[in-house]
């Protein structure tokens, strides 16, 4: 089987035909979500999906992009959106077509829910099908710290969910008597049955987290899993406030 020519990122030149062959979209029909590349999601829209606001980089077909209304989903969700500045606004993509989604060059992972649930840090949620319901959860508000993981989206139902990470994610098992502590800024997702607690340790401020005061960790106990990324991400709300 003939393989498309490799694109050399050095000084060697290549023809336009070679470039198109090597970088053209790959059609793998069947799923609503598929990875066009490790850092780009191809979403086949036939009705409606939800995405992170600003994640669309290209599209084809008859699609409309609508920012989620503040009161959409009821007063409870509206309140959570107001207090969770870290929770990125969502966008409804409606119509018929294909949308290409990405987020700052992060790695994309597609998960399939089969009636189960998962919690995803609001900053790391890229897209989900309309058959998946969500609610914003505030775990604990810590004054002066808008860290990833304090606010999350609990996703439940039947359908596909796309999350993003800086680099390849690592999933750690949580077992009874063997808890896992994580940096909130590196925590991406966790199983729905786990309820993280916030712990502080002034002795770790110089080696764990961003320093400059008490350092907080997320403590996971019980039976489940937690997903972390090899990167400490400061949410936009925190950056804007500093």
Contact 77, 8 (CB under 8 A): no
Nearest Cα neighbor of 196 from 213, 172, 214 is 172
Poorest-confidence range of 25-34, 80-89, 156-165? 80-89
What's the pTM?
0.77
Rounded CA separation 28/151 (Å): 34
Q: Is 65 helix (H, G, I), strand (E, B) or coil?
A: strand
Tell me the mean pLDDT in the region 8-29. 61
Would you tell me how many other CB atoms lie within 10 Å of the CB of residue 208?
Answer: 16
Q: What is the pLDDT of residues 1-11, one digit of tens each?
A: 444 555 444 54
Specify the pLDDT at position 215: 74
Residue 50, C-beta contacts closer than 8 angstroms, at least 6 positions apart: 68, 90, 91, 92, 93, 127, 128, 129, 130, 134
Q: Which pLDDT value is given to residue 238?
A: 43
Extract the runs of DSSP E, i.e. beta strands, from the chain.
33-37, 40-52, 56-67, 90-101, 107-121, 125-129, 132-138, 151-165, 170-174, 180-182, 187-191, 197-200, 216-220, 224-228
| 79 vs 167: which has the higher pLDDT | 167
**Who wins on pLDDT, 80 or 154?**
154
The domains of the chain, with CATH numbers, are 27-232 (3.60.160.10)
At 237 the pLDDT is 42
Tell me what pLDDT residue 166 has. Answer: 95
pLDDT of residue 229: 95
Highest-scoring range by mean pLDDT, 71-80, 98-107, 148-157, 206-215: 98-107
């Amino acid at each position: 089987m003939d393989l498309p020519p490799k694109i050399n990122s050095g000084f060697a030149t290549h023809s336009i035909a070679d470039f198109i062959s090597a970088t053209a979209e790959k059609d793998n029909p069947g799923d609503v979500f598929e990875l066009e590349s490790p850092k780009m999601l191809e979403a086949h829209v036939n009705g409606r999906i939800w995405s992170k606001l600003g994640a669309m980089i290209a599209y084809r077909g008859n699609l409309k992009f609508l920012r989620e209304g503040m009161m959409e989903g009821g007063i409870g969700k509206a309140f959570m959106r107001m207090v969770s500045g870290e929770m990125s606004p969502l966008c409804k993509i409606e119509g018929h077509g294909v949308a290409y989604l990405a987020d700052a060059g992060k790695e994309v992972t597609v998960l399939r829910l089969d009636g189960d649930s998962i919690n995803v840090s609001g900053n790391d949620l890229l897209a989900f099908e309309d058959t998946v319901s969500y609610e914003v959860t505030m775990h604990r508000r810590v004054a002066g710290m808008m860290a990833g993981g304090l606010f999350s989206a609990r996703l439940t139902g039947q359908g596909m969910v796309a999350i993003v990470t800086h680099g390849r994610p690592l999933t750690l098992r949580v077992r009874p008597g063997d808890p896992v502590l994580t940096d909130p800024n590196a925590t991406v997702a966790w199983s729905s049955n786990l309820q993280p607690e916030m712990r502080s340790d002034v002795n770790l401020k110089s080696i764990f987290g961003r320093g400059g005061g008490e350092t907080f960790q997320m403590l996971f106990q019980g039976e489940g899993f937690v997903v972390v990324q090899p990167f400490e991400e400061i949410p936009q709300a925190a950056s804007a406030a500093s």
